[in-house]
């Protein structure tokens, strides 16, 4: 009796990616004398019986076209979106044109011409990772060929209304690699700087400078020195007030373990939090809170009644 672990292999066979379990690639016992031709024939048969992996999500969306056309009363244009797992391989090339939306370092994002394995041309967006340039999104004009093929040439069911005209639409395919796109934004946002812990000790400080629109947590709300119960009540009121404006807040004031202000700031910088607000006994006396900006590292005092409107305006104008 023996035990084994089933592994999965990705193989490109006639340009079609396939999924094969490794036990299927083992030569059968008692077949040590198989010729090279017999082994090739055996593997060829395994490949033919293996599962074909989809290279993109386009066919799934095109398959739903006719049904979706009826849902919109046959009025063009409209869009379909699909998300899922697929296998993609991209050719490498040079991409000279700069392009940027939410980037801290625009030069890392480039746009250039793209051509898939079928010869369809389009444009692609790339990011320069530390290990090399890789595509994160592509745009292709596919015409109406694939739409007609998928529906077996039945053009009657494919026609929609564009104003007074009845036409078969052309397909614009916009596809992106979600994992690679998120990774690109994280690499673009990560900033490493030297941080002085003492007179002679240096450490690397990490700041995740995500764009304000993309940062999942906009504000970190914490407590400084002062009466715990009263400060926590003030924090709770400000917390709910900021949430009413749909601004995400990290309730650091609920944590029981005490940390220094410097440690709090380092933690929030690593989390990508844009603003750190500290409520202290000064707030109870004068209504002033300490507000610290992640990107400028500037600390300033602001009245608690003005904080919410300031944060809302800052994020809207970003």
Closest CA to 290 of 305, 302, 298: 302
In the block, residue with structure tokens 């009540």: 233
Decide which of 187, 222, 241 is a domain's last residue. 187
- Domain annotation covers residue 156: yes
Look at residue 11 and give its three-state secondary structure: strand
- Domain annotation covers residue 182: yes
Q: How many domains does the chain have?
A: 2
Residues 176 and 220 in one domain: no
Mean pLDDT of 66-94: 75
Residues 177 and 288 in one domain: no
Q: What is the pLDDT of residue 34?
A: 77
Residues 135 and 172 in one domain: yes
Mean pLDDT of 226-235: 91
Q: Record the pTM.
A: 0.57
- Domain annotation covers residue 174: yes
Decide which of 134, 156, 187 is a domain's last residue. 187
- Domain annotation covers residue 248: yes
Residues 218 and 172 in one domain: no
Looking up residue 130, the CATH number of its domain turns out to be 3.30.930.10
Residues 235 and 138 in one domain: no
Mean pLDDT of 133-143: 87
Look at residue 168 and give its three-state secondary structure: coil
Which residues contact residue 165 at a Cβ distance below 8 angstroms, ignoring those fewer than 6 apart?
Answer: none
Containing 245, the helix (H) or strand (E) segment is none
Phi, psi torsion values for 116, nearest 5 degrees: -85, 180
- Domain annotation covers residue 204: no
In the block, residue with structure tokens 């007030």: 241
Query: Any idea which of 92-101, 106-115, 145-154, 188-197 has the lowest mean pLDDT?
Result: 92-101
Residues 233 and 302 in one domain: yes
Residues 245 and 166 in one domain: no
Q: Rounded CA gap, 201 and 18, in Å?
A: 53
Q: What is the pLDDT of residue 47?
A: 67
Residue 230 belongs to domain spanning: 210-317
Containing 195, the helix (H) or strand (E) segment is strand 190-196
- Domain annotation covers residue 181: yes
- Domain annotation covers residue 8: no
pLDDT tens by residue, 263-296: 888 899 999 999 999 999 999 999 999 999 998 8
Q: Rounded CA gap, 258 and 254, in Å?
A: 11
Residues 137 and 65 in one domain: yes
The mean predicted confidence, pLDDT, of the chain is 79
Q: What is the pLDDT of residue 4?
A: 32
Q: What is the pLDDT of residue 49?
A: 66
Most confident among 16-30, 77-91, 101-115, 180-194 (mean pLDDT): 180-194
pLDDT tens by residue, 112-129: 888 877 788 889 899 999
Decide which of 155, 187, 219 is a domain's last residue. 187
> Which tops the pLDDT comparison, 239 or 106?
239
- Domain annotation covers residue 45: no
Looking up residue 247, the CATH number of its domain turns out to be 3.40.50.800
Closest CA to 108 of 130, 124, 88: 130
- For residue 11, pLDDT over 50 is answered with no
Residues 67 and 183 in one domain: yes
- For residue 65, pLDDT over 60 is answered with yes
Residues 171 and 71 in one domain: yes
Residues 100 and 218 in one domain: no
Residues 131 and 180 in one domain: yes
């Amino acid at each position: 009796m023996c035990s084994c672990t089933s592994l999965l292999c990705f193989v490109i066979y006639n340009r079609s990616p396939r999924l094969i379990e490794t036990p299927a690639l083992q030569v059968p016992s008692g077949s040590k004398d198989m010729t090279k031709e017999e082994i090739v024939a055996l593997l060829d048969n395994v490949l033919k019986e293996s599962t074909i992996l989809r290279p993109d999500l386009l066919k799934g969306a095109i398959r739903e076209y006719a049904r979706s056309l009826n849902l919109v009363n046959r009025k063009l244009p409209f869009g379909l979106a699909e998300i899922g797992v697929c296998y993609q391989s991209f050719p490498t090339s040079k991409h000279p044109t700069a392009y940027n939306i939410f980037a801290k370092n625009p030069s890392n994002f480039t746009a250039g011409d793209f051509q898939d394995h079928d010869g369809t041309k389009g444009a692609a967006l790339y990011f320069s990772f530390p290990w090399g340039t890789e595509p994160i999104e592509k745009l292709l004009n596919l015409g109406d060929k694939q739409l007609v093929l998928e529906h077996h040439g039945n053009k009657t069911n494919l026609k929609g209304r564009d104003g007074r005209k009845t036409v078969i639409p052309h397909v614009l395919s916009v596809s992106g690699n979600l994992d690679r796109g998120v990774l690109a934004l994280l690499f673009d946002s990560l900033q490493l700087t030297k941080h002085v812990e003492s007179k002679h000790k240096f450490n690397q400080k990490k700041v995740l400078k995500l764009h304000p629109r993309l940062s999942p947590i906009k504000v970190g709300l914490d407590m400084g020195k002062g009466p715990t119960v009263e400060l926590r009540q003030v924090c709770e009121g400000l917390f709910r007030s900021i949430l009413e404006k749909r601004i995400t807040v990290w309730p650091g004031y609920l944590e029981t373990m005490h940390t220094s202000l410097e440690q709090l700031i380092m933690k929030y910088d690593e989390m990508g939090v844009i603003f750190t607000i500290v409520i202290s006994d000064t707030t109870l006396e004068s209504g002033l809170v300490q507000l610290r900006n992640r990107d400028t590292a500037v600390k300033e005092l602001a009245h608690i009644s003005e904080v919410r409107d300031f944060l809302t305006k800052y994020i809207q104008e970003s």
